[in-house]
Chain A
Amino acid sequence: MGRRWLLRRLPPCDQLLPVMSDSLDHELPFHGRLILKLHLFVCLRCSRYLNQLKLMRAVIRARSSKMLAEGSPETSLSREARERIKRALNSQLND
């Protein structure tokens, strides 16, 4: 049971979660990198967890680009807002 043996000697999953999150924000110190790598090697659920965080990031960024590129009525300025902004701009321009 090499997998269980190693898993028991590493910090448990709940302590690895913040480390996995951190790994998406900055480079981990050597020790953290090593522990994480070993843990992921033997822990299916944590591997899933990290992949899911990465998936969330990827789809959020892709969605954000898509929303910017494509217009639709509900993602456009309302007629009222448009008029209000124009009025505000014109009154400042004429000051």
Chain B
Amino acid sequence: MSTEPTVIAKPVPDPGAWVDLHGDYLYRYANFRLRDATQAEDVVQETLLAALQAYEGFAARGSERTWLVGILKHKIADCFRRQGRERAIESREGEEFEHQELFMREGEWAGHWAAAVQPQNAHLGPSEWHANPEELVEQDEFWDVFKNCLSPLPLRIASAFTLREVDGLESEEICELLNIKANNLWVMLHRARTHLRRCLELNWFNQRMAD
């Protein structure tokens, strides 16, 4: 086998086939991150339009799907950026999601979990979850609760959380995407996690224990 580049006829794009072959995949990818069906559809359309324009640059290098997902990621990042700009002023960045009420206010154990100090506050958690990760992944009801828990967060915080926890992007990449400082990002992630953890505890794990 020679490794010489072979001469390929100039590829002709077949965008209809892209929709059929990759449309659902791209849509699922976008919808899981944006949590909005209309926005996910729009972003898939933008992606394929951009792909059509850039098609000659692609010219059958590697997998078509990987190439399309690459474009989609940029389009989703654009959405996150826009959301960040639109919401930055109206949100106080979600200080209320830190749940200070779960901690002792005063006394020698000030700042410690109230549940650990006072038996009557045992319900303030963190409680034992008895969670089975494999089961949770399969349970659609759990993910409905999860989605509801995510919804009160300011979009910018939810976006940062998604980029970090779903996509596993490193802090530097997220900061660049959302145009924020690392310290700011870490505070946002902390608030998102604190809020989600408590919300899932109240609306899922504690409910299951009562069963």
Contacts and interface: CB of A to CB of B under 8 A. Distances in A.
Interface of A: 7-8, 11-15, 17-18, 21-22, 24-26, 43-46, 48-49, 52-53, 55-64, 66-68, 71, 75-78, 81-82, 84-86, 88-90, 92-93
A52 B126 contact: yes
Contacts of B98: 17
B126 A21 contact: no
Interface residues of B, number: 59
Contacts of B165: 56-57, 60-61
Interface of B: 13, 15-16, 18-19, 23-25, 27-29, 31-32, 41, 44-45, 48-49, 52-53, 98, 100, 103, 108-113, 115-116, 125-129, 131, 133, 136-138, 143, 164-166, 168, 171, 182, 185-187, 189-190, 193-194, 196-197, 200-201
Nearest to B31: A75
B126 A45 contact: yes
B137 A63 contact: yes
Contacts of A53: 193, 197
Please list the 6 inter-chain residue pairs (A to B) with the smallest Cβ-Cβ separation, ordered nearest first.
A12-B111, A89-B15, A21-B190, A45-B113, A48-B126, A81-B41
B190 A85 contact: no
A15 B108 CA distance: 15
Contact of A76 (B24, B108, B166, B201): B24
B186 A89 contact: no
Contacts of B109: 12
